[in-house]
Each structure stands twice: as structure tokens, then as C-alpha cells.
């Protein structure tokens, strides 16, 4: 057996090992385009964008070059209500996010739903500063397909026979968890005409640390996850802009650090400060795991994103540097004329 085949078999076994015993220490789902998943990143980012509403859809397919692909999909909707009648006022945001994750040969699945609320307090300064506090309470359901699981007792002389008894007392293949999360975020602007905007926030999830065992084994709980988010956006000139994004997550013994940026060319409408058309390209790096070339296309209020994970971890011998692709579709808009007194609060503008 050559080395590449060996690694493939090992990874396949690990995927199959998402078995019905426990899901202990399983990390949360993640996306390379993490900046499009506000509610899972920090509930205090809910509604923190310049338009009135935002719809997002993200799909991720990973490790299809090695074994059954890991598939993750997410849809979310966010909006906000302006409080007050001045130029810079508080606002209340609300939203909801649903995700689906499937992995392994026994179809281990996770479905999660997270409604969220957020209140952003305006500082009333010349830099359009806001401090936001957000909360979310979610429900997570884990499941697997026991008919696709295999066990030692079903092998005789290294030959598998599905009709052989498993010798296992399998639990209910569904596990439901309830979750609570919260976060804070600060955003402001600087530079001439406040042309540079930035954000910094912290959040936490799984505060209740619910039991995470199909067998209800004690002391096997979902670890809390702590998250730090940061972003910076600005313009080189009227045609070229940039945005930098970073995120750090810590959950039990698992951590993930990812950062990078995009540079964009923007065609500005003569009667509007927002770009009518924009093309962005750049890259992100997930520490110890992947380099992620990223492309984004925006036309008016619709944006399409495409990224690909180039695996650079120790698994690249088996993966041949192929990780997975991710696509996103974002729709934003205004309920009212953006130039009217009922228009948008002054928030960060990350295209």
C-alpha cells in the first residue's frame, strides 16, 4: 500500500468514526467566507451593515477528493429598526440563521437554528461610533443513519456481511441540544471624511454546555466556544478599495485562526456613493490548514462570492492540496429611500 492510499484509508476511517457513541470535542461548523455568517460569528454583528436588510446563503463542499464530502450549507436573514430621528441614532437589529452539516459514511448530520437580536448604541461622535450587544438562543439536532454503520462483528475472515448481527445496542440516532450565545462589538470610522471603517468584537456560544452524548453519558458536554472578530475597510481612491477580515475561535482544545483580505475595483454611480459594480480578489489563510484564494463580484445590491481551500496541512499528502470550495450569495437592500430621514443608520460598509 503506498503512502497516499494509506492516508486516504485513514481519513475514510476517521469519517466513518463519527459513530453513535458520543460527539465529544466536536468543533462547530466553520466557513472560509466567515465574514458572511454574522450570527454564528458574533450575535452583536446582527444588522451591522449599511443597508436595511440582508439575506445570505453559503454552501461549502470539502474533502470530496478523498472520501464522502463534508457538506455545509447556511441561510440567514437580518434587518434592523432605526430608533430616533437624527443622523446618528441607536438601532435594534433582529435576524435568524439556519445551517445544515453532513459528514462521513454514516451520514452524520447537524441541523442548527439561531434567532438573534442586537442593540447598537450610538456614541453621537464625529466618527459614527457604535457599541453593540447581541444575544442568540438556538437549537441543534445531531443525527446519524444507523443502517450505514458497520461493526467488527459483521466481518468474518475479513469479509463484510451486512446480515450478521452487530452485537451493539444502538441509542436513539437523534440528539437535540439547546444553546445560548452573546457578544459585544464596537465599530467606528477614521480618516478624512471617515473613509476608513473598522470593527472589533468578542462573543461566546454554548454557555449552558449541554450534554453531547447519544448515550447521555455524564460529563460529555458541548464545549463553550469563544470568538474574536475584527475588520477594516477603506478606499485607496475612487476606484479601488480594500477590506481586511480576521477571526479567532477557541473551543475546548480546538482553535482556529483565519485572516486575510480583498482588494476591489469599484464603478461608482455618479448619483450614489455606493458602487454600482465591483470586483474583488484576494486570499485568506487559516493557520496550519489552508490558503484560500477568494473572488467576489457585486452588482448593485447582489453579491456572489467564490473561494477554494488549498490544503497545506499535514493531510496534503492524501488531499494533493485539494480542500474544498465555497460559494456565497448575498442580497441587501433598503426599505425606504436611502437618502430620506427614514434611511439607514450610519454603519460600517463592508462590501
What is the structure's pLDDT at 161? 73
Q: Is the pLDDT of residue 53 over 80?
A: yes
d(CA 86, CA 81): 14
Q: Which of 34-38, 59-63, 107-111 has the lowest average pLDDT? A: 59-63
Report the SS3 class of residue 192.
Answer: helix
What burial letters (b/e) apply to 9-43, b meaning 16+ CB within 10 Å? eebbeebbebbbebbeebebbbbbbbbbbbbbbbb
| The pTM of the whole model exceeds 0.95 | no
Q: How confident is the model at residue 21 (pLDDT cuts 50, 70, 90)?
A: very low
Distance between CA atoms of residues 44 and 88, nearest Å: 18
- Contact (Cβ atoms closer than 8 angstroms) between residue 329 and residue 298: no
pLDDT at 148: 73
CB 258 within 8 A of CB 285: yes
In terms of pLDDT, which residue wins out, 319 or 225?
225
Q: What percent of the chain has pLDDT over 70?
A: 81
Domain ranges of the chain: 3-333
Highest mean pLDDT among 49-63, 77-91, 110-124, 316-330: 110-124
CB 311 within 8 A of CB 330: no
Residues in the chain: 351
Quick check: 75 pLDDT over 80? yes
All cell numbers assigned to 6: 494509506
Positive or negative, the CA dihedral 43, 44, 50, 53 is: positive
- Reply yes or no on domain 3-333 having CATH 3.30.200.20: no
Report the C-alpha gap between 76 and 56 in whole angstroms. 5
Whether the pLDDT of residue 274 is over 50: the answer is yes
- Please, which pLDDT band fits residue 48 given cuts at 50, 70 and 90? very high
The pLDDT, as a whole number, for residue 106 is 79
Residue in 70, 66, 65 with CA at minimum distance from that of residue 10: 66
Segment 319-336 shows an average pLDDT of: 82
Q: What is the DSSP letter of 17?
A: T
Residue 187: pLDDT band (50, 70, 90) is very high
Residue 8 has pLDDT above 50, yes or no: no
Torsion of CA 126, 231, 38, 65, to 10 degrees: 160
Q: Which segments of the chain are extended strands (E)? A: 53-62, 70-83, 90-103, 108-122, 130-143, 155-156, 159-160, 174-190, 196-205, 225-235, 240-251, 254-268, 275-286, 290-299, 302-311, 322-333
Residue 244 has pLDDT above 80, yes or no: yes
pLDDT value for 320: 55
Question: Is the Cβ–Cβ distance between 72 and 63 less than 8 Å?
Answer: no
**For residues 43-51, average pLDDT:** 92
Amino acid at each position: 500500500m503506498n503512502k497516499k492510499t494509506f492516508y486516504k484509508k485513514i481519513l475514510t476511517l476517521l469519517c466513518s468514526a463519527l459513530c453513535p457513541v458520543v460527539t465529544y470535542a466536536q468543533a462547530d461548523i466553520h466557513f472560509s467566507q466567515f465574514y458572511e455568517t454574522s450570527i454564528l460569528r458574533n450575535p452583536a454583528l446582527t444588522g451591522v451593515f449599511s443597508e436595511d436588510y440582508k439575506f445570505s446563503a453559503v454552501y461549502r463542499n470539502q474533502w470530496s477528493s478523498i472520501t464522502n464530502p463534508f457538506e455545509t450549507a447556511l441561510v440567514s436573514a437580518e434587518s434592523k429598526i432605526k430608533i430616533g430621528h437624527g443622523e446618528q441614532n441607536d438601532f435594534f437589529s433582529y435576524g435568524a440563521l439556519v445551517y445544515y452539516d453532513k459528514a462521513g459514511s454514516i451520514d452524520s448530520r447537524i441541523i442548527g437554528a439561531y434567532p438573534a437580536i442586537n442593540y447598537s448604541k450610538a456614541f453621537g461622535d464625529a466618527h459614527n461610533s457604535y457599541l453593540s450587544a447581541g444575544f442568540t438562543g438556538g437549537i441543534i439536532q445531531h443525527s446519524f443513519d444507523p443502517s450505514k454503520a458497520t461493526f467488527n462483528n459483521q466481518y468474518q475472515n475479513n469479509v463484510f456481511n451486512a446480515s450478521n448481527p452487530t452485537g451493539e445496542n444502538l441509542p436513539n440516532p437523534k440528539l437535540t441540544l439547546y444553546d445560548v450565545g452573546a457578544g459585544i462589538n464596537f465599530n467606528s470610522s477614521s480618516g478624512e471624511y471617515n473613509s476608513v471603517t473598522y470593527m472589533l468584537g468578542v462573543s461566546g456560544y454554548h454557555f449552558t454546555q449541554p450534554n453531547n452524548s447519544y448515550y447521555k453519558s455524564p460529563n460529555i458536554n458541548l464545549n463553550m466556544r469563544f470568538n474574536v472578530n475584527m475588520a477594516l475597510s477603506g478606499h485607496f481612491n475612487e476606484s479601488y478599495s480594500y477590506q481586511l477580515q480576521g477571526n479567532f475561535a477557541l473551543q475546548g482544545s480546538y482553535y482556529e485562526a483565519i485572516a486575510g483580505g480583498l482588494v476591489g475595483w469599484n464603478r461608482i454611480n455618479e448619483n450614489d456613493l455606493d458602487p454600482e459594480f465591483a470586483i474583488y480578489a484576494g486570499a485568506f489563510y487559516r493557520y496550519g490548514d489552508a490558503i484560500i484564494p477568494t473572488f467576489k463580484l457585486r452588482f448593485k445590491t447582489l453579491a456572489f462570492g467564490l473561494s477554494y481551500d488549498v490544503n497545506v496541512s499535514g493531510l496534503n499528502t492524501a488531499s494533493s492540496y485539494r480542500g474544498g470550495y465555497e460559494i456565497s450569495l448575498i442580497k441587501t437592500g433598503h426599505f425606504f429611500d436611502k437618502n430620506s430621514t427614514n434611511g439607514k443608520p450610519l454603519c460600517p460598509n463592508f462590501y
